[in-house]
Chain A
Amino acid sequence: SQQGEEDPQALSIQEGENATMNCSYKTSINNLQWYRQNSGRGLVHLILIRSNEREKHSGRLRVTLDTSKKSSSLLITASRAADTASYFCATDARTGNQFYFGTGTSLTVIP
């Protein structure tokens, strides 16, 4: 399987703290994406980083990519209770428009 894996599986932090979650994948990629899923809902796209990029920012989100280690990290700064959700990384197949999702990190932000 080309599916990635997020680490940790679950994370619980206090509001205002930073949250870091990691994604490891198995094959070469064109880009890596992070998605968020609130309980009982579909996934929502957060940010995309291309294979030739090392870091990308969007608001309170910071994503890094290390293609030599086949890993990525998502940092959420100054977390809020509303950030409570599951977060998934997704990688693409080198050919075609197929995407492979990781197993997810469940983030709980305690008010």
Chain B
Amino acid sequence: DAGITQSPRHKVTETGTPVTLRCHQTENHRYMYWYRQDPGHGLRLIHYSYGVKDTDKGEVSDGYSVSRSKTEDFLLTLESATSSQTSVYFCAINSGGSYEQYFGPGTRLTVT
């Protein structure tokens, strides 16, 4: 998976609790992305980062925040998880020199 790890890989949490997902890369790529994957919707972009402390919103950013304090780490936070945020979350990276994205293994999040 091209030097990308995600943690945790699985999480079950209760509605209203905060949740942070971590994406870590060893490729020194400039761009990092968070997607969610749901049946019938494919992958949808939540937020992305184009450098340390530089982030922007994607299609489905409501209810999510991100932070990138180091090149290698991109954090996705659900401030107050809701059942609609039950999904599989994928992190991806891109060097910026090409359009190819490399994906992490995914985090399966269940909000009960």
| Interface residues of A, Cβ cutoff 8 Å to B | 1, 3, 30-31, 33, 35, 40-45, 48, 88, 90, 92, 96-104
User: Could you tell me if B45 and A100 are in contact, using CB atoms closer than 8 angstroms?
Assistant: yes
Residues of B contacting A104 in the complex (Cβ-Cβ under 8 angstroms): 42
Residues of B contacting A43 in the complex (Cβ-Cβ under 8 angstroms): 43, 90, 92, 101, 103
**What's the Cα separation between A110 and B94 when bound, in Å?**
34
Is the contact region of chain B dominated by helix, strand, or loop, or is it mixed?
strand
**What's the Cα separation between A43 and B4 when bound, in Å?**
12
User: Could you tell me if B42 and A99 are in contact, using CB atoms closer than 8 angstroms?
Assistant: no
Residues of A contacting B62 in the complex (Cβ-Cβ under 8 angstroms): none
Q: Is B8 among interface residues, defined by CB-CB distance under 8 A?
A: no
Chain B, 70-110, CB within 8 A of any chain A CB: 90, 92, 94, 96, 98-106
User: Could you tell me if A99 and B1 are in contact, using CB atoms closer than 8 angstroms?
Assistant: no
User: Could you tell me if B44 and A3 are in contact, using CB atoms closer than 8 angstroms?
Assistant: yes
Residues of A contacting B35 in the complex (Cβ-Cβ under 8 angstroms): 101
User: Could you tell me if A98 and B43 are in contact, using CB atoms closer than 8 angstroms?
Assistant: no
Chain B, 26-61, CB within 8 A of any chain A CB: 31, 33, 35, 40-45, 48, 50, 56, 58-59
In the complex, what's the smallest C-beta–C-beta distance from B8 to chain A, in angstroms?
A: 15
